[in-house]
Structure 1
Amino acid sequence: MRAVPSLRTAKRAPLLQVLKTSAAAIVAWLVSVIALDQPLPIFAAIAALLVVQPSVTQSLTKGLERSVGVIGGVVLAYLVGQFLGNASWIVLSVIVVSLLIAWALRLGPGSTNQIPISAMLVLAIGDQTPAYALDRIIETIIGAGVALILNALIVPPVLLRPAHLAISRLLRETADALDALSAALRMPVDAPTAERVLERARSLRPLRDAAADAVAAGEESLAFNPRRSRHRRVLENDAELLARLSALVTRVIGMARALRDHRDPTLHREATVQAIATELERAAHDLRLLDRDPDGEPPTVTAELPALTAPLAVATPHPEHWILIGSLLEDLRRVREEIVGGRDN
């Protein structure tokens, strides 16, 4: 583990994002110069730089945080300047008071940091007059508004592909886990094998969480996005598939845990267990049929009819096996419901 974190990111931000941020700062500066007759409208430029974000939703959030912070900081600085002046110790005291006010109001980090910054700038380089304070507030609103408009109009990103890829990976790994569980039921299972099957099933959890985060990012990228109507249905389909996969992950982990806890060297001799193994393999096959890739053809292994059959006819199991078999059958029933329901939709 490195003592100092890297200053560089693994992936560059899109060049378009850099150009939009630059354009927003320039336009906000020019608009403020013309509208307010201010030669150096730094509040407008700072607001524009901070408000341009990867999504329109994030830009709106940053714009609100920035505006609230500037208004609070400017008003506080004006009041303090009128009665106490702008001595060095006054500026330091205002910083502390600003942070305490933000803490008491439970403001977010953007507004919390912006209040003392705005107050400090006004006290240090500005005039403590109502006109000056009002101009700084208007500057900030201009900068935030320009940034929000440009970010919404100039090709706002739609993060659908990452969500689809994350869900597709989760689907394939879940199908592989079903295959692994099926293979384990067809032979005598020792403790290490049962533990490996369970660990593989548990490895689906971080993939499920990553897919959920990707879908949330996609939903955020569509909010207030002018292109949202063209992409909304695609994301809704992915979110629906994610809900089914989340239920499947829970079932697969439960089946693997039941096998680990109640394994028996003679379990594979049960006819019902062999039938369950066959159905799990068919479930994995049919699950792969749900993998919708908009840019390609389905793989050959899944380019055929669904294989899941009707519910099993269960023979009376050995007394030592009935708890495990009953648990597997219930989970298999729910797995089948999720897959068949998703296929029918």
Structure 2
Amino acid sequence: MDINKGKQRFELIKGLILIAKISIASGVSWELAKMLGSKHPYLAPLTVILSIQETIQHSAVYAFYRIVGTLFGIAATIFIIKHLEVNGWTIGLLLIMGMVLPVVLRLHKTIIHQIALTILLVFVFVHKTNYYVSDRIRDTIIGALVAIIIHIIIVPPNYVKEARRTLTQFGIDLGQLFKKVAYWVNNNCEFIEGENLIDDTTDLLQELHQVEKEFEKAEKSLKLNPFGRNKKQQLKQNEQFLFQLKHGYTYISGVLTTFNDWSETNSLPTVDRQKWAVQLQVLGEYVTKQANQNLENHAINKSSLDLLDLSSIPLQIRIPPELESHRHQLSLYNDTLKLIDKLETK
């Protein structure tokens, strides 16, 4: 299975589903608003269009903010609006008066935007029709409720598969980085190649951040989702794999710097380079197998992640017995020395 093609197909399907939800919810909300006596039924689908976000939780929060902002904006203008002339100066004055308190109370910016929008539209339309205020309140609530209900009923958002897909790609790329570093170590740690590998670690860090964002989105997509119970377990298992890969990234980025510094001292024995190359190659193959296994489990809808036998990763390097009790101190010493060196760099 091609991961990039799978992602493109997922994005296409997601877009089509979103279009269907907005269309259906807009039509239902318009008819429902008319049925309940609205003279401005477009206000209901307007709320639908604004409220349907990428997850049910986001949609519910936005709908709540829109309702609160609408009520606050109407309350701020309804008693004085008919005594003012419609022009730019009175609109500006009303906006200042209506938004000062919400800003002081540090309400969410979405609420403040909805207050401003409500003040503007109520101020303009209330002079033309007496029904606008009641219609706006009722239709806003109708649109918000319909948007959330349709979002839940019709293919509720679920980004667990997307999170898993990006995690798998990151695992494959991390495994490739291990193998590249192994090849570099086995070939005298050339400076230019080392710089290229450092660039690769920077790119991979950006990829890791993207994976973390996808996991956050996947977790949010399961909130208020009545069909997401099984997906929560799958997400939790993939979070364990992500935890492993984070450690793998931290390790390889640190090892790369250490080998780069070691090679500059011209004291890196050929035998040690070869042993470390084998060690890194084996670790890279393990990470790659884990990532591919994660992809295979997804393809066959298998929820569990069977860990590979870690006994297949023996230590290739042994330190002298007399240094065994000092290995933690030596590790701390080396890490501290590298940090001081970086801090002194101008």
TM-score using structure 2 length? 0.78
The 10-residue stretch of structure 1 (155-164 or 119-128) with the greater mean CA deviation from structure 2:
119-128
1:47-196 equivalence runs, <5 A: 47-81=47-81, 84-88=83-87, 89-126=89-126, 133-196=133-196
Q: Which amino acid aligns with 2:26?
A: A
Deviations 1:192-226 (A, max 9, x none): 12222222222210110111111112112211112
Residue number in structure 2 paired with 1:235: 235
C-alpha separation in 2, matches of 1:249 and 1:164: 18
Aligned partners of 1:81 and 1:128 also within 8 Å? no
Aligned partners of 2:184 and 2:190 also within 8 Å? no
Deviations 1:3-23 (A, max 9, x none): xxxxxxxx7662222221122
Deviation of the 1:47 alpha carbon: 1.3
Closer, same or farther: CA 132–265 of 1 in aligned 2, 3 Å: closer
Give the CA RMSD over aligned residues.
3.2
Residue number in structure 2 paired with 1:343: none
Say yes or no: does 1:24 pair with 2:29. no
C-alpha separation in 2, matches of 1:125 and 1:188: 77
Deviations 1:140-193 (A, max 9, x none): 112101111111111112112221121111111111111122222223223212
Residue number in structure 2 paired with 1:220: 220
Bigger relative contact order, structure 1 or 2 (CA pairs below 8 A, ≥6 apart): 2
Closer, same or farther: CA 67–33 of 1 in aligned 2, 3 Å: same
Deviation of the 1:56 alpha carbon: 0.7
Residue number in structure 2 paired with 1:8: none
Residue number in structure 2 paired with 1:335: none
C-alpha separation in 2, matches of 1:112 and 1:192: 53
Deviation of the 1:86 alpha carbon: 4.4
C-alpha separation in 1, matches of 2:46 and 2:157: 23
1:299-310 equivalence runs, <5 A: 307-310=312-315
Aligned partners of 2:170 and 2:204 also within 8 Å? yes
- 1:314 is aligned, of 314, 319, 336, to 319
Between the two proteins, the alignment pairs up a number of residues equal to 306
Q: Which amino acid aligns with 2:124?
A: A
Q: Which amino acid aligns with 2:173?
A: E
The 10-residue stretch of structure 1 (128-137 or 239-248) with the greater mean CA deviation from structure 2:
128-137
What secondary structure is seen at the aligned counterpart in 1 of 2:156? coil
Q: Which amino acid aligns with 1:21?
A: I
Deviation of the 1:103 alpha carbon: 3.0
What secondary structure is seen at the aligned counterpart in 2 of 1:206? helix
Residue identity (%): 20
Aligned partners of 2:73 and 2:118 also within 8 Å? yes
Aligned partners of 1:272 and 1:314 also within 8 Å? no
Aligned partners of 1:171 and 1:245 also within 8 Å? yes
The 10-residue stretch of structure 1 (44-53 or 93-102) with the greater mean CA deviation from structure 2:
93-102
Closer, same or farther: CA 186–196 of 1 in aligned 2, 3 Å: same
Aligned partners of 2:262 and 2:268 also within 8 Å? no
Residue number in structure 2 paired with 1:295: 299
Aligned partners of 1:52 and 1:151 also within 8 Å? yes
Which runs of 5 or more residues in structure 2 are unaligned? 1-10, 302-307, 336-346
C-alpha separation in 2, matches of 1:207 and 1:152: 31
Closer, same or farther: CA 196–315 of 1 in aligned 2, 3 Å: farther
Q: Which amino acid aligns with 2:299?
A: D
Aligned partners of 1:179 and 1:281 also within 8 Å? yes
Aligned partners of 1:175 and 1:285 also within 8 Å? yes
Aligned partners of 1:98 and 1:116 also within 8 Å? yes
Deviation of the 1:267 alpha carbon: 4.5
Higher helix fraction: Structure 1 or Structure 2? 2
C-alpha separation in 2, matches of 1:250 and 1:197: 14
C-alpha separation in 2, matches of 1:238 and 1:102: 41
Residue number in structure 1 paired with 2:5: none
Q: Which amino acid aligns with 1:22?
A: S
What secondary structure is seen at the aligned counterpart in 1 of 2:169? helix
Q: Which amino acid aligns with 1:71?
A: L
Q: Which amino acid aligns with 1:295?
A: A
